[in-house]
Chains A and B, each alone.
Chain A
């Protein structure tokens, strides 16, 4: 127990972090099929939102909320100005969102400088779980990831907005023909997705060095998780993050982190090769 538990906790922690970062992509990449290379920069906006709020003396929860809201607002602006013109041009989207990512990153450098910022963690104590000390804040992150994921799934599968949004992503012309204002749905879904990326950035900020490059490291694993789980299937993202996250931490703790990275990316390629529609196998 004393040796297995820390590995298990680290695994769960990494899975929940990956889940938190991926959940916004579930909407934007999984459902809307927009390859948003600026996803990491919305993560960044969330982290800087929290940092800025702490500079202003606001409490932690208010800072996380501010980060998420600013990311959602910038996302809404990006959708209206750029993304909406590109829904049937995936290649152009990659280029446009890449440009957007550079613009956001540089805007942050201009506003706050390229140096890394310190974020005070709201909980810096450790709690003892079955005799193993574990960071209380990491446990809080896990809880937030689970709550956010449940909330997103409830919205997608239990609300009328979710039903309309999922239908609009499958077939926009027909969704319009049955009366759904797909422009409104697109705006809302994109802003919601970027807001979730901002939330993830703010929640992760106390555990990371907050600098303009911080979004990058999570984006590749997050995209891969969704591809492995199955694009277009929100539930697939859960399986994808679970598989990617657990293999990453297990291999890293038994072997080493570099091998783990190589092994996980190889695993992802093999899975995508064998199951082009992801392990949940949704055909579209």
Chain B
């Protein structure tokens, strides 16, 4: 394997010192690959993506991306380095149009303006709704907008936090298909935090189960289908 797109070593992070959510977590994501991080609630999935993005304080460990250890960098510099983030709950900018939300994704970056044809190619519904206010979109459409906003930066690594949350099953499948297409066509590396098995099976090459802020078991996603007991073992109560 060539240099990994993202390499995390012994990461400690959390909201207050002495109460760390991530306790020495390590993982590797290959260039152009997709990795799903799964685990029960409270095991540190959201904290992991927020720590990579610099939105949660990292107290120890390494986050190597693009030849740099970006742990401790201010969030906007991590974004400018090529990491894009689709947050849990989507967090599109309310009061701004769909087009403005997409433009904002590219605004601070080198090229400045989004490649609209490419983005509308993936998400045609956003072209139809481009003048509409973001908060008036359905949940699934807001998710597409949040992904388009992230892609507008032309990132090399995409972090997705529970993209299936609160979205109809049919739309979950549609979004998973589009993300897979983007991954294949642009060789975009994707780190996906997810509870939804369908999204994971549709999109991920590998699955990493985490528990109590550490990695527990890593398998190829294809094996999940053959051996459902792996899922049961890691996710069951």
Contacts and interface: CB of A to CB of B under 8 A. Distances in A.
**Chain A complexes with chain B:** yes
Interface of A: 160, 163-164, 166-167, 170-171, 173-182, 232, 282, 284
B75 A173 contact: yes
B87 interface: yes
Contacts of A284: 94-95
B55 A164 contact: no
Contacts, number: 67
Contacts of A160: 107, 112
Given A170-B93, A171-B93, A173-B55, A178 B74 contact: no
A179 B95 contact: no
A164 B95 contact: no
A282 B103 CA distance: 22
A163 B76 contact: no
A176 B74 CA distance: 8
Nearest to A180: B108
Given A163-B107, A177-B53, A182 B76 contact: yes
Nearest to B100: A163
A170 B153 contact: no
B76 A174 contact: no
Nearest to B87: A174
Interface in B185-223: none
A39 to B, nearest CB: 24
Nearest to B159: A177
Chain A contact surface mostly: helix
28 contacts: A160-B107, A163-B104, A163-B107, A166-B96, A167-B96, A167-B104, A171-B93, A173-B55, A175-B104, A176-B55, A177-B75, A177-B76, A177-B85, A178-B79, A178-B104, A178-B107, A178-B108, A178-B149, A178-B153, A179-B107, A179-B153, A180-B76, A180-B107, A181-B76, A181-B108, A282-B95, A284-B94, A284-B95
A167 B75 contact: no
B174 interface: no
B93 A179 contact: no
Contacts of A166: 96
A178 B105 contact: yes
A184 to B, nearest CB: 9
Given A163-B103, A167-B93, 11 more contacts: A170-B95, A171-B91, A171-B93, A173-B55, A174-B87, A176-B76, A177-B76, A178-B105, A178-B108, A179-B107, A181-B76
A74 to B, nearest CB: 26
A16 to B, nearest CB: 27
B127 interface: no
A171 B94 CA distance: 9
Interface string B61-101: 00000000000001110011000110100010111100010
B109 interface: yes
Contacts of B112: 160
Contacts of B96: 166-167, 170
Nearest to A178: B105
A162 to B, nearest CB: 11
Contacts of A164: 104, 107-108
A268 B153 CA distance: 44
Nearest to A170: B93
Contacts of B149: 178
A195 B211 CA distance: 52
A163 B107 CA distance: 9
A36 to B, nearest CB: 23
A215 to B, nearest CB: 31
A163 B108 CA distance: 11
Interface in B102-146: 103-105, 107-109, 112
Interface string B160-190: 0000000000000000000000000000000
A179 B80 contact: yes
Central interface residue in A173, A177, A232, by most chain B CB within 10 Å: A177
Contacts of B103: 163
Interface string B5-31: 000000000000000000000000000
A170 B75 contact: no
B79 A176 contact: yes
Closest 10 CB pairs of A and B: A179-B108, A179-B79, A176-B75, A177-B85, A181-B76, A176-B76, A180-B108, A179-B80, A174-B91, A167-B104
